[in-house]
Structure formats: structure tokens, C-alpha cells
Amino acid sequence: MTPQLLLTFVAVFAVARIALVVQRVAAGGTRTRSLTVAREWLDTFIFAGLGAWLLITFVGRTYYIPSGSMIPTLEVHDVLLVDKVEFRFRQPRYGDIVVFPPPIPSPDDFIKRVIGVPGDTLRIKNGIVYRNGVALAEDYINQKPQYDMEIRDYGIWVNDGFGWHKVDPADGNIPPKSMWTAPNRIPANCYFMMGDNRNDSVDSHMWGFAQDTGTFATGPLAGKPAWFTGRAFTIFWPISHAHLL
């Protein structure tokens, strides 16, 4: 449930609670057993709803996995707990599984793994990811990527078997040269995100960089606020798949 939907329910209960007060006044202040019980239940729902709203808005929330982009780490229909506080005190780190709004139109937040952080060099060659020149040992992936990728010349270049092409700034978040510290290093506040199901994941090799702050520089959501919702830290449903991430 989203914070907005929960707040809507609380508002409905509050309106019903006010209606009971108006009804009692209209009845000359007469208090009946049924009105008392209804008022107590509505008060409980309102205070519980406000408490839950505060928690999912500022502390944590649940997240439902709608796709297979993070298989085998996350399965379709898994329900996660997401910590919304941690990134207020530290920057995202390698390997964090993060929920965030992507720089492309989407009805839902995305969930991907942090592979590259600001200042990193990054490339993919023959199915191996190299970060700052070091090959990553990725025992969590479903399959090796069937494409090559390089961050160079102030952009993200991909070869998916049909020759090299650059991710078009019109299609994704590729900051202008002025925001890069070097032509082959990830810009400030930008992160390269990948799904563990590498060949079935709409991720940074398609739409550019996620951001932890500021606004998207380019793409269909240019100028819109960018942030990281939080870090997924546990699967709690289904019980058979429950574990810490």
C-alpha cells in the first residue's frame, strides 16, 4: 500500500468520525451504545492509520516484486522490506539492492543492484563486469550479460551484437559534459544500476544513470526530482523464501 492510498483511507475514516459527531449534536447530544462503539473503532483506525503512514513515509515500506529482472536474488511476487532511513546517513554502496524512481516513465519504482558509484570506471567485456579495472566476482547473477558496455566519451556505450551505440540522452539520464569529472568516470550523484537477471533487465545500460539526489539531467523525465527510496534488506513473504538480503 502506498502512503497516498493509506492517507486516503485515514481521511475517509476521519470524515466518518466527524459525521458521527454531527449526528450526535443533531440528536441533542444523546449517546447510544452503537455510536460509542463506532466512534471507538474509528478512532482506533485513524490513529493506527496515521502511525502506519508515518512509518512507511519516513522509516520503511513494503515493496512487491512485479518482474523477473532480479532473479535469482528476488523472485516475482516476493514482498520486501525497504529501509528508508539508512541512505540519510550514508551513500549507497556496492551491492546494495535499491528501490528508486527511474529516469524513464514507469508506474512503479525500480529495484536494482548498485554496480557503479560516482567516480568509478566501468565496462563489460565477454560477460564480465570490470569496475576500476578489476573483474567482479558475481555469484548472485542469473546469467552473464550478452552485451558489451563501456562508460567513455561522456556517455554509456553498448554493443549488443549489432555494433556500438551510445545511450541517447533523449531516452535516458546522461548528464552533460560539465557534470563529469572525467570522460570515462561516473558523474557525481550518479549510479550504474543492474538487474541480477542481466539479459532480462531494463537497467542502466538502457536508460543511463540513477541518481540519489537532484533532478534528472536528460531523458523523458529531465528536470524531475531524483532520489533513492531506500535499501531492500529482507524478503518477508512468502515465508518459504524469507531471508535477509
Alpha-carbon distance of 191 to 221, in angstroms, equals 17
Query: Prior bond to 238 cis, omega within 30?
Result: yes
Helix (H) or strand (E) holding 190: strand 190-194
Rg (the chain; Cα; Å): 23
Number of Cβ atoms within 10 Å of the Cβ of 176: 11
Task: Answer whether 141's CB lies under 8 Å from 71's CB.
Answer: no
Is 69 part of the annotated catalytic residue set?
Answer: yes
Task: Answer whether 47's CB lies under 8 Å from 54's CB.
Answer: no
Which DSSP state fits 215?
B
First and final C-alpha spacing in the chain: 22
The residue ranges of DSSP E strands in 20-75, in sequence order, are: 60-64
Task: Point out the catalytic residue in the list 69, 84, 201, 204.
Answer: 69
Cell of 164: 556500438
Is 112 part of the annotated catalytic residue set?
Answer: yes
CA dihedral sign of residues 45, 47, 52, 57: positive
Task: Point out the catalytic residue in the list 34, 67, 84, 112.
Answer: 112
Q: Which residues contact 89 (CB under 8 A, 6 or more apart)?
A: none
> Any idea which residues carry the catalytic annotation?
69, 112
